[in-house]
Amino acid sequence: MKRPLALVGFTYLLAQAAAVFFGEPVAWYLAGGCLLFFVLSLCIRRLRREKAVPVACLAAMVACLAYGLGQMWLIRPMTPLDGQDVEVSGSICELPYQENDRYYYQIQTDQVGMEGVPQSIRIRITTTHALDAEVYDRISGKVRLFLPQKGSGLDSAAYYQSKGIRMTGFLYEYEPFSIQSTQDRPLYYYALKAREAVLRSIRLLFSSEQSGIASGVLLGAKQQMLPEVEEDFRVIGVSHLLAVSGLHTTVLTECLLHFFLFLRVRRRMAAGLSIGGIVIFMAITGFTPSVMRAGMMSILMLTGMIIRKEPDSLNSLGAAAGILTLVNPFAAGDVGLLLSFTSTLGIILLSGKLSKKWNEKVVSRFSFGKRAVRFIGNSGAATISATLFTIPVILLTFQEFSLVSILANLLLVGPSMVMMMGTAAAALLSFSGVFSFLTMPFVFCSGLLIEYLQACASFLANVPFANISVGEDFLLLWLAGTLVLVGIVWWNPSIHNKRVAALLSCLMLVCGGASQWIFHRDSVEVAVLDAGDGCAMVVSYQGHAAVVSCGGNRYAPEAVRGYLKDQNIWSLDYMVLPRVDDVSENRAYEVALSYPPKLMELPQKAQEEERLYASMDAAEEAVLVSGQTQADLWGKASIYTDMENGYAVLHMGNVRITIDPAGDAELPEQARDCHCYVTGTPNGRGGEISSQYTVFSVSEETANQGIIRYTPEIGEVFVTAGQGNLVLEQDFSGTVSIRRE
């Protein structure tokens, strides 16, 4: 059996990813199916002789079993703690960070105030104020705990489980809690302090906008990035640059190796010193699964140099994937790991072939500058290979695809890596005392590259149809068909079969996307955006859009703009705000300036809000309304807004959606009897509402505190809560469905 480590590692990771994606109940069925195929493969002489099929089935079965048992033994015991107030004590085990006006801390507990539950678990808590605490200080206090919100696919629950975080919650800051310093600190403490020092140095060396991108690319720390910049990176398909992975560690490995060789260190010694540098880098970046995978690959490569034996790339990648997933039964829930793995696999399998074609067709025609042309071709081949192989993960995770991703990667990957090394050099030199003046050239050059990255990402993100959304069901069908084709090619790996399989996979993707567009082209979509506490809603139809309410946190405007970009909408037909009592509603002015509406209707009270009132000048027509107003939306829907009471009702045929942003409007009987009730505040009025769906547009913290107390009388409950947008859609038969994006 050729490359056994690759076979076992790849199969194990793929099976674990399937188990994580479909959830625990399906994982048990998958394990049973793999067991059945394992037994059958032993009964077929050819399969038994080749060994690959039985080994793959056995590895897949073990992966699914491990995931199911992990859920049973590690996650289910946490259920009694869900929604409970308990006294906990433990140590802060990661650097805290600030996001959305809250502070986040990871705590490794050693005592939980409830009997019959695990006492040593990792939890993530939030506070409204920064705690006067260092990493590995002890904290004791009253905490309300929650199981992470479960959705579909690779949701936040899967992400937290991959990181070892079992519960989330918030600290009761108005009740007594204590923080104690300790001198008992592990080696990892110094890695965290080094990370903190590097981040602080970057903030001091670069402007606030530049430091966000520099920190994100170098260390994967995205908390300081402007939301619109992060959104641009996502839209054009280069979000992987903000998650430390194989690309980063490969560049770092090459730089370290050449640096030590430049200092006249012997090659084997240089490889050993480079391994030490990689381990330190892995520690500073937090030992995330993607970094661990990439770091292990680099270490294996450097180890091969030391023992004078070149490792097999596929076996090394399989070994790294197998070790990570064996140690952590939830590792495949980390999208960064999946992207890192698939991109590296693409480079190994495809990059060399593309480079060979480039050298044969292009480089051979140049008489001068062959080295530069070859370098461009090799870089482009690696970028294209990595991008193509990450497409399935991106499609299944984000249910969207960037049509400019290959171009964006070609334009941004090289400069971003140069910027990363320049930033690292500047940050390290800033600690060198008398030689700190040497940071300036690196800061200047890196700053120029950051400006280029930001401008290029913004330009590409604003290209029409730069990003398209796709449906989950179609993607699963396409992926299943592609896996069948891969199996056929593996069984008979002829050049003809490979080409036919690639062509059929592309045809399935194109035809499926086209058919989905045909069937949904005449449907109206109502999106409740995941914008924190507050209601932000967009109604769209065939490139037209209307914004109904624009509340939420400070990122709400970017959430609206990002959704409009995803829907390939470049101008608004209509904007209406049922109320402007909440300060967050004033964020609508940012959207109005970016997407000037053809018609804008605001309550009379809007004239008291200076910026919102001024934004009316951007609209083609703007009206202040004191009572009720009604607007027709493209002949497919209509919206009635009561500015006096602060609510709106959207009609789509026989479907009625009531929008109550603040949750306290005086609703008439007709508005209370609706197909869907949307609000930005859980206020406990469930008994007054009769609806098929109730959607709460709230933050994760608010959802944890309030939603669980609702009764089933309000119908099926959905919450945004950091899980993504919720989209209501009416098909040609008039049936209303709801899905998460």
pLDDT for 714 beyond 60? no
**Which tens digits make up the pLDDT trace of 593-603?**
778 889 988 88
Quote the tokens at residue 284. Answer: 């500073």
Lowest mean per-residue pLDDT among 54-63, 134-143, 231-240, 506-515: 506-515
pLDDT for 712 beyond 70? no
**Which tens digits make up the pLDDT trace of 266-278?**
888 888 888 888 8
From the number of C-beta atoms within 10 Å of its C-beta (0-12, 13-18, 19+), residue 634 rates as middle
Region 637-643 average pLDDT? 88
Closest CA to 228 of 531, 553, 457: 457
Quote the tokens at residue 641. Answer: 């807004």
Percent of the chain with pLDDT over 90: 16
More confident residue, 42 or 488: 42
Backbone angles phi, psi at 715, to 5 degrees: 85, -165
**Which tens digits make up the pLDDT trace of 598-626?**
998 888 887 777 777 777 888 888 888 88
> What pLDDT sits at residue 105?
93
Question: Cα–Cα distance between 306 and 361 in angstroms, integer?
Answer: 36
> What pLDDT sits at residue 342?
85
pLDDT for 200 beyond 70? yes
From the number of C-beta atoms within 10 Å of its C-beta (0-12, 13-18, 19+), residue 403 rates as middle
The number of C-alpha atoms within 13 Å of 524 and in the hemisphere containing its C-beta is 21
Lowest mean per-residue pLDDT among 32-46, 261-275, 473-487, 495-509: 473-487
> What pLDDT sits at residue 29?
93
Backbone angles phi, psi at 593, to 5 degrees: -75, -35
Q: Rounded to two decimals, what is the model's pTM? A: 0.75
Q: What is the identity of the amino acid at 618? A: A
> What pLDDT sits at residue 675?
82
Quote the tokens at residue 537. Answer: 């809603």
**Which tens digits make up the pLDDT trace of 148-174?**
866 656 777 888 888 899 998 889 988
Q: Give the residues across from 652 on adjacent strands.
A: 655
Question: Cα–Cα distance between 56 and 7 in angstroms, integer?
Answer: 7
Determine contact, residues 333/296, Cβ cutoff 8 Å. no
Q: Which residue has the tokens 């959705």?
A: 151
Quote the tokens at residue 428. Answer: 């390290």
> What pLDDT sits at residue 449?
94
Quote the tokens at residue 171. Answer: 């600290």
**Which tens digits make up the pLDDT trace of 336-373?**
888 888 888 888 888 888 888 888 888 777 777 777 78
Lowest mean per-residue pLDDT among 34-43, 87-96, 700-709: 700-709
Question: Cα–Cα distance between 406 and 398 in angstroms, integer?
Answer: 17
Residue 649 has a CB neighbour count (10 Å cut-off) of 21
pLDDT for 46 beyond 90? no
The set of residues, in sequence order, having a beta carbon less than 8 Å from that of 327 and lying 6+ positions away, is: none
pLDDT for 684 beyond 60? no
Mean pLDDT of the chain: 82
Lowest mean per-residue pLDDT among 55-64, 498-507, 624-633, 666-675: 498-507
Residue 628 has a CB neighbour count (10 Å cut-off) of 12
Quote the tokens at residue 486. Answer: 């891969």
pLDDT for 176 beyond 80? yes
> What pLDDT sits at residue 710?
47
Question: Cα–Cα distance between 729 and 220 in angstroms, integer?
Answer: 36
Lowest mean per-residue pLDDT among 33-37, 505-509, 732-736: 732-736
**Which tens digits make up the pLDDT trace of 413-458?**
889 988 988 998 898 889 888 778 889 999 999 999 999 999 999 8
Q: Which residue has the tokens 């990648």?
A: 317
**Backbone φ/ψ region at 532: left (φ over 0), alpha (ψ -120 to 50), beta:** left
Question: Cα–Cα distance between 345 and 582 in angstroms, integer?
Answer: 50
Q: What is the dihedral of CA 248, 254, 259, 265, to 10 degrees?
A: 140
**Which tens digits make up the pLDDT trace of 18-33?**
899 888 889 999 999 9
Distances (CA, A) of 340 to 283, 336, 350: 18, 6, 15
Strand spans (E) along 131-259: 138-146, 167-171, 178-180
CA 384, chain centre distance (Å): 21
pLDDT for 587 beyond 90? no
pLDDT for 689 beyond 50? yes
Question: Cα–Cα distance between 46 and 249 in angstroms, integer?
Answer: 41
pLDDT for 536 beyond 90? no
pLDDT for 738 beyond 80? no
From the number of C-beta atoms within 10 Å of its C-beta (0-12, 13-18, 19+), residue 491 rates as exposed
pLDDT for 1 beyond 70? no
Q: Which residue has the tokens 């461009």?
A: 376
> What pLDDT sits at residue 711?
44
Determine contact, residues 697/528, Cβ cutoff 8 Å. yes
Closest CA to 247 of 427, 420, 451: 420
> What pLDDT sits at residue 516?
60
Quote the tokens at residue 217. Answer: 């690319």
pLDDT for 294 beyond 80? no
Q: What share of the chain is helix, strand, coil (3-state, %, to 5)?
A: 55, 20, 25
Determine contact, residues 310/341, Cβ cutoff 8 Å. no
> What pLDDT sits at residue 651?
87
Closest CA to 275 of 255, 253, 244: 253
Helices 289-306 + 335-346 axis angle, to 10? 40
Residue 39 has a CB neighbour count (10 Å cut-off) of 11
pLDDT for 717 beyond 70? yes
Quote the tokens at residue 730. Answer: 């009416």
Closest CA to 31 of 3, 72, 91: 72
**Buried-state track 126-158, b at ≥16 Cβ within 10 A, e below 16:** bbeeebebbbbebbbbbbbbbbbbebebbbbbb
pLDDT for 731 beyond 70? no
> What pLDDT sits at residue 153?
62
Three-class DSSP category at 93: coil
Residue 334 has a CB neighbour count (10 Å cut-off) of 25
> What pLDDT sits at residue 530?
84
> What pLDDT sits at residue 387?
81
